[in-house]
Amino acid sequence: MPVIKARRKETPTSKQAALSSSTKELSRPDLQRILAIRMNGIVVLAKKDLPVNEILSLKHGSIIEFEKAVKEPLTLEVNGKEVATGTAVKIGEKFGVRIVDVIPVDSKLKAMAQASAKPAPPEKPPSP
């Protein structure tokens, strides 16, 4: 039996309208190539620092406990920077994320620019 996917019609919020207006500003021809660049998105469930000995002792069936509650939103990161948060959803037998909050385009562009700016190499101390 075929599965019919129904989608709820959503009216744009003020945040979505602002995002749309910011995107229109970016549609100048000089930015078209930048906007076409594909970037890797990562959904972060939780983060935790582990000592090396704990990492080395991981085996099949090991469990790592996180401080994050199950109901807390997941984070969508692009280039190591948070761009949105959302909730986990099941799509058939696959996993997805329903976006709940989006960081404004201006902030995303600034964060990506900072991440891509290469720091100056450290100065070498003078030889004795």
DSSP state of 29: G
Q: Global pTM?
A: 0.55
For the chain, the structural domain boundaries read: 39-113
CATH of 39-113, one of 3.40.50.300, 2.30.330.10, 3.40.50.800, 3.50.50.60: 2.30.330.10
Ranges assigned E (strand) in the chain: 41-44, 74-78, 81-91, 94-102
DSSP state of 57: T
pLDDT of amino acid 16: 53
With beta carbons less than 8 A apart as the criterion, state whether 27 and 113 touch. Answer: no
With beta carbons less than 8 A apart as the criterion, state whether 78 and 41 touch. Answer: yes
Does the pLDDT value for residue 63 go beyond 80?
yes
Helix (H) or strand (E) run with residue 34 in it: helix 32-35
Task: Of 94, 107, 79, give the one whose Cα is nearest residue 15.
Answer: 107
Q: How confident is the model at residue 48 (pLDDT cuts 50, 70, 90)?
A: very high
Q: Average pLDDT over the chain, rounded to whole?
A: 78
Report which of residues 104 and 72 the model is more confident about: 72
> In what order do the strands lie in the sheet containing 74-78?
41-44, 74-78, 81-91, 94-102
Report which of residues 122 and 83 the model is more confident about: 83
Overall average pLDDT of the 8-28 stretch:
54
Q: How confident is the model at residue 9 (pLDDT cuts 50, 70, 90)?
A: very low
How confident is the model over 80-94, as pLDDT tens digits?
Answer: 888 999 999 999 999
Cα–Cα distance measured from residue 95 to residue 86, given in angstroms and rounded to the nearest whole number: 12
